[in-house]
Amino acid sequence: DQQVKQNSPSLSVQEGRISILNCDYTNSMFDYFLWYKKYPAEGPTFLISISSIKDKNEDGRFTVFLNKSAKHLSLHIVPSQPGDSAVYFCAARTVYGGSQGNLIFGKGTKLSVKP
């Protein structure tokens, strides 16, 4: 059973517009959430994260929103650029026993930003 779900396998957006990527989770023990970006033939790279004690984290054009009651988070990219075209993975983690838990990933959403 998937604990982290990205229900949209793909998204197409016009350059300059906002891209919104969504992610849902089922495990209420998750306390840290991350977004990774992956280009073809490369490993995923960290983009932005948010702790469960916050509802928003912003870094330049990227903002992550967390709605704990709905177990939902989203990544907003504004304005979108063609170089943002990639697969975006949502990930979540629990921390237990004082050590870092592993990351549980969604299946990813392929974003295409058209010039």
Partner 1 sequence: DAGVIQSPRHEVTEMGQEVTLRCKPISGHNSLFWYRQTMMRGLELLIYFNNNVPIDDSGMPEDRFSAKMPNASFSTLKIQPSEPRDSAVYFCASSTGNSGNTIYFGEGSWLTVV
37 touches partner 1 by CB under 8 A: no
* Cβ-contact 80, 16 below 8 angstroms: yes
Pick from 7, 27, 45, 81 the residue near partner 1 by CB under 8 A.
Answer: 45
Strand, coil or helix: what is 82?
A: helix
Residue 64 binds to partner 1 (criterion: CB under 8 A): no
For the four alpha carbons of 107, 85, 115 and 81, in that order, the dihedral sign comes to positive
Q: 4 near 90, Cβ under 8 Å?
A: yes
Of 46-54, 55-63, 65-73, 77-85, the window that binds partner 1 (rule: CB under 8 A) is 46-54
Number of residues that bind partner 1 (CB under 8 A): 22
| Residue 5, beta-bridge partner list | 24
Work out whether 62 is an interface residue with partner 1 (CB under 8 A). no
Q: Binding residue for partner 1 (CB under 8 A) from 22, 52, 103, 112?
A: 103
Q: Which is nearer to partner 1, 11 or 15 (CB)?
A: 11
Task: Quote the DSSP letter at residue 42.
Answer: S
Q: Beta partners for 85?
A: none
Q: Which residues of the shown chain bind partner 1 in the complex (CB under 8 A)?
A: 32, 34, 36, 41-46, 49, 51, 89, 95, 99-100, 102-108
